[in-house]
Structure 1
Amino acid sequence: MPMKRLSVVVTRRLPEAVETRLTELFDATLRDDDTPMTRAEIAAAMAGADVLVPTITDNIDAALIGQAGDTLKLIANYGAGVDHIDVETARRRGILVSNTPDVMTDDTADMVMGLMLAVMRRMQEGLVTMQAGDWGGWAPTAFVGTRLGGKRLGILGMGRIGQAVARRANAFGMQIHYHNRRRLRAETEEALEATWWESLDQMVARMDVISVNCPHTPSTFHLLNARRLKLMKPSAVIVNTSRGEVIDESALTRMLKADELAGAGLDVYQHGIRGNPELVNMRNVAMTPHMGSATIEGRIEMGEKVLLNIKTFADGHRPPDQVLPGVF
């Protein structure tokens, strides 16, 4: 008699190849349109499924987990970040949580460099000018930005993505500095030509560019608060592809408006998809809609991680990418 297939509910549309494989392996319920599930729909899914596959748009908090049925034993997150899931409450309910690490490192690092170039070389202004049909022709003083070579880059969070950013920035001739919970091994520092700062305050005060590459945790919420942002040079640029909550967005907006910072490249925002509306039309701000992992290769690899985690769990083993409370 064939073994009963796991019931898997997916909260968002995923790449077609991933959805097809989920259907082949499991009793999968897929989303018909690419819109987030309502809270009530997620609660209903958790009440009857064996596995839930959420994304960053789903807030799987303690209240929702409290409504989970006895059959729910795995939350296989589609994405690396799990700050939208109450991992501790899930653990207490006997529900494992897994994620999809290590597949978006290069894609996100590419995005960091793209935003850095967009702001420092004023590409955003150039695009708007061309789209509006307002270009009056080349002029020696028009759209003058600043080169990346020779600038000091301060990386906040020197994990896989931070190190990938460092390697790319090295190729542009930038000087690499970083602040991290733990100092890197000497050989890694040497390979990256990176300078470690124990004091974040001291680092941000000296950098030409700050790249935020740390996760959102209680200890990193508003890590770049108003006081720290004030330490930055007026000529400095800040780039964030990690989590919006790491920066005090209101303070950042005020400083950009007052020309106390030269610019910002933002792919994430403190209040989800709703970045501060005052940022939208600023000439020195490049804003993208959380596109850091948005390559077809990366999104399929994320799905393959989800599949592997669920299949390993179905075979009676611990998912290879299980998330433990307190790790993120």
Structure 2
Amino acid sequence: MTKVLITRPLPEAVTSRLGGVDLTVRSETLPLTATELRAALSEYDAVLPTLGDAFSAEVFADVPAPRCRILANFGVGYNHIDATAAKAAGVTVTNTPGAVTDATADIAMTLMLMSARRAGEGERFVRSGTWPGWHPTQMLGLHLTGKTVGIVGMGRIGQAIARRCHYGFGMDVAYFSRSEKTLAYPAQQYSDLKQMAGQVDVLVAAVPGSAQTYHLIDGPVLDAMRPNGHLINISRGDVVEEAALIAALQDRRIGGAGLDVYEFEPKVPAALRALDNVVLLPHLGTSALEVRIEMGLMAVDNIQAFLAGKAPPNVV
């Protein structure tokens, strides 16, 4: 019988769809270990992995003739899988685009509002029991309505963020992208990231993680930002040079930041955690039950199509 491995617990609505196979659902919530990665390739016909399951070139090199023929990734980002090495080994890689778009855009807006209006800091203030009550100059933040947002990467998620900013908050939209986009609202394209960073009130990272986007937002980009500018990252942690961001926040060279991802996730530096001018979320981008079910069902559809001899809907 066909053997399928799901590497993390998923909602029952997802696992129940994989009938007629010998299904293993790993109970551990942490990524696959080095031994488990190699066993996944050698002992299963299909694997449904997710963030952190590092199917690297070295793993494929250690399993030169894998039994596994498809890695149906749970998530749109797949930089934890070496897609080139997978292809060379005859392993198909798929992902779950579309399902994550709106949920991730919503988290971007959450971070924008929390950072600009100092909501995390304010919530801690109330919980401390030391809040003296309202007064006119207390915890003044940045009013988002009518400001300018700059989006780094204008794919599905970037465009969903831009729509929310433009139609919901009357914000002007700028974006840094390799190609000009046809959009239903006014938006200015920039080919120079530092130039755009200096022209916007909020800079949002919405690019895939890759070698090309590693530290795309570095010290010089942060230095170009306005003193009251806010940086939001909902993409991948290493898109932002974390040490440079910490320095900019410590020196109050930018207004603040909102992060859902981290360069060395799940490790978050003590220096970052100690700062009041940054909002820190535990990678909540797609953390809604209906979204996780939709993602899981897309991954299952990819597996079932492949096992039936058809082209999976979402090959990367």
Question: Aligned pairs, how many?
Answer: 314
SS of 1:21 mapped into structure 2: coil
Q: Which residue of 1 aligns with 2:174?
A: 177
Are residues 1:312 and 2:305 paired?
yes
Q: Could you tell me whether the CA contact under 8 Å between 1:253 and 1:276 is conserved in 2?
A: no
Give structure 1 regions of 4+ aligned residues with deviation exceeding 6 angstroms: none
Unaligned runs of 5+ in 2: none
The separation in 2 between residues aligned to 1:215 and 1:314, in whole angstroms, is 28
- Which secondary structure state, in structure 2, belongs to the residue aligned with residue 291 of structure 1? coil
Q: CA shift at 1:283, angstroms?
A: 1.2
2:315 and 2:107 map into 1 onto residues whose CA distance is 27
Q: CA deviation at 1:71?
A: 1.9
| Cα distance between partner residues in 1 of 2:16 and 2:274 | 41
Which residue does the alignment assign to 1:290?
Answer: 283
Shift of 1:30: 0.7
CA distance, structure 2, for counterparts of residue 284 and residue 25 of structure 1: 52
Contact 1:11 1:42 in 2 (8 A): no
Would the alpha carbon gap of residues 36 and 221 (structure 1) be closer, same or farther in structure 2, given more than 3 Å must change?
closer
Find 2:104's aligned residue among 104, 108, 117: 108
For residues 39-83 of structure 1, the C-alpha deviation after alignment (integer angstroms, 9 at most, x for no partner) is 212212221100111111211101212233542111111111010
Contact 2:194/2:220 (8 A) holds in 1: no
Q: SS state of the match for residue 174, structure 2?
A: strand
Letter in 1 for 2:242: E
SS state at 2:203 partner:
strand
Q: CA deviation at 1:133?
A: 1.5
CA contact (8 A) 2:31 2:52 kept: yes
Q: What residue is the counterpart of 1:243 in the other structure?
A: 236
Task: Give how far 1:7 is off.
Answer: 0.8
CA contact under 8 A between 1:156 and 1:179: conserved in structure 2?
yes
Q: Structure 1 stretches of 5 or more lacking a match?
A: 324-328
- Measure how far apart 1:222 and its partner are: 0.8
1:266 partner amino acid: L
TM-score, normalization: structure 2? 0.96
Q: By how many angstroms is 1:201 displaced?
A: 1.9
CA distance in 2, matches of 1:77, 1:125: 36
CA-to-partner distance for each residue in 1:291-328, whole Å, 9 max, x for gaps? Answer: 101111110000011110011001101211111xxxxx
Match of 1:46 in 2: 41
> Of the candidates 180, 195, 202, which is equivalent to residue 202 of structure 1?
195
Which of 102, 126, 132 does residue 136 from structure 1 map onto? 132
Equivalent position amino acid for 2:292 in 1: R
TM-score by length of 1: 0.93
Residue deviations 1:249-296, cap 9 Å, x none? 100100100010110000011112112221112111000011101111
Structure 1 position 97, deviation (Å) = 0.6
> Counterpart of 1:234?
227
Contact 2:66–2:89 (CA under 8 A) maintained in structure 1: no
Q: Do the aligned partners of 2:41 and 2:66 also contact (CA within 8 Å) in 1?
A: no
Give 1:326's aligned residue: none
Aligned partner of 2:62 among 34, 44, 67:
67
